[in-house]
Amino acid sequence: MINYDENNIFANIINKKLSTEIIMESEHSIAFNDIAPQAPIHILVIPKGKYIKYDDFLNKASKDEVYDFFMLINSLVKINNLENTGYRLIANAGKNGNQEVPHLHFHLLAGQNLGKM
Ligand code: AMP
């Protein structure tokens, strides 16, 4: 089992050692812009808790944390008026998923036709 890396970039954003502009924050989650956007809208959503990836989160987090996380994504969809135009959610996980930062994050991409996967 892989241990959570306390020094990963997103851990440093959560503990405020690294500054970033927070777009939206809820009790258990935060959202901020990706530093290297791949679309006009490219937001990262992360839980504040120490979860490496999707399965880790679903297996260990409370229902409140999980609900809070997905509702924050839903709020971002609403405030950006993406319900009609559409968007893409991506969560890279582990080695074969080419996950770079070992703290769970969902990419919310939108603002143009994103092409096929
Ligand atoms: P992944 O490959 O799914 O782990 O994606 C990691 C994402 O984090 C990449 O899209 C990076 O551009 C993004 N990223 C890395 N460092 C920062 C940072 N300091 N602030 C915002 N986004 C970052």
DSSP code at position 27: S
Residue 18 alpha carbon, nearest atom of ligand 1: 19
Output the CA 34–ligand 1 centroid distance in Å.
6
What is the rounded average pLDDT of the residues 40-65? 98
Summarised one tens digit per residue, pLDDT across range 75-104 is 999 999 999 999 999 999 999 999 999 999
Which pair of tokens denotes residue 78? Answer: 């609403």
Mean pLDDT (the chain) is: 97
Percent composition of the chain: helix, strand, coil (DSSP 3-state, to 5): 30, 20, 50
Q: Does residue 105 have an active-site annotation?
A: yes
Centroid of chain to Cα 54: 10
Output the CA 47–ligand 1 centroid distance in Å.
15
What does the alpha-carbon distance between residue 36 and residue 22 come to, in Å, rounded to a whole number?
A: 16
Domains of the chain with bracketed CATH? 9-110 (3.30.428.10)
User: What is the longest distance spanned by two Cα atoms in the chain?
Assistant: 41
Above 90 in pLDDT, residue 117?
no
pTM (whole model) above 0.75: yes
Residue 105 alpha carbon, nearest atom of ligand 1: 3
